Structure 1
Amino acid sequence: MVTMVKPTQRLNLTGKGVYAGMLGALGNALAVLSMEVGNLHPQIALDLSHLATIVAAYALGPAWGALTGALVAAFPFVRFSLMGYLPIVVGLLIFPGKAMTGFFVGVLGRKLRPALAVPLGYVPESAFTYMTLELTRRILLPPEQAAFLSRGVILGILLKAWVEILVLAGIAEILVVKVLRTQALLRESNAPRA
């Protein structure tokens, strides 16, 4: 089981905000790099931004995991909405979708290792994404744009996302333990000496 840090030993509010912001920037950088390398279709691209969300969820807790999840959604929003086929109002739903994963991974991460918490924490975002894209395709998009968001594309998006999440769960299994140990060592070295 992952050794969790007691809430009283965690970073103060300002430190958490800075840490979440840095992880949000890291997540967007990962999104840019992975989407450039893994562009599979105009509406399907590799996105590893949730690695930062997962680290925040474990290191800072569910609320900060949700905030970081929303922050890492900035580049995917630009890529799939402003530069893609999703209407802006639908693209804005990327933010709460990614925030859901941060929140649920943070909640589940209190009791479960990343190998389980990450896939289970992604289930709400996956269902939300399917419903959002299916309703967008059927109701909001004109027929010429809806052709780019067929049910096959939607299922392709979700399949790709699940593969990413399973890979990220494996990475997080190693990375999260190291991040939490480093945090504990930093706190010990900064503790006042008697």
Structure 2
Amino acid sequence: SNDLVQNFRYHCIILLAMITRFCIEGGMPGEEAYRRSDFYILKIDAATTIDQIEILHDEACIDFTKHMQNRRRHTICSKPIALVLNYIYTHMHENVTVKELAKAVGLNPSYLSRLFHTQMGCTVHQYILDQKINTAKQWLQFSDKSFVEISNLLGFSSQSHFIQVFSKCTGMTPKRYRDEKFRTDLMSKGRVRTGLK
């Protein structure tokens, strides 16, 4: 593109596609990798300056790298657990149960629960909850989605249930989290890069 901002945007999106592919090849569940990639592509698409795109480029690279590093620190999970993780990411908008997961991978629910805890260091329920809350945090910080939308997208029974769970996990309500965090990382890093105060 003759437009420098658009040209840089294209380069970053191509880079994200390559990183996503490499991470999947390295063991990151496909649904997680694509969701993470889509998240940054939407932010890059909305950015209006090269400085903003550069910040997002760095954030995306560090984010993917940290997640791959954390995966490497843990014992490589077995095939059933890898399938379970992928199922969880694919059905993030649903209320997934251990029984449902066990059926999907052909294991006894009790055995799957023990295996998951041994390899992942937490219960299936806690893992699913953590992933949903982390996704909610990203949407609260970087999108205009309402609490009702987030609640529905993440499979909570109601908005009040989402608020209750979010508050218990983070120590603050979704409203307070958005008020304090809404695009703060992007703006503060932009000020550092551009010298603004």
Short-chain TM bin: 0.3 to 0.5
**TM-score calculated relative to the size of structure 2:** 0.35
Which structure is higher in RCO with an 8 Å CA cutoff and minimum separation 6? 1
Larger radius of gyration: 2
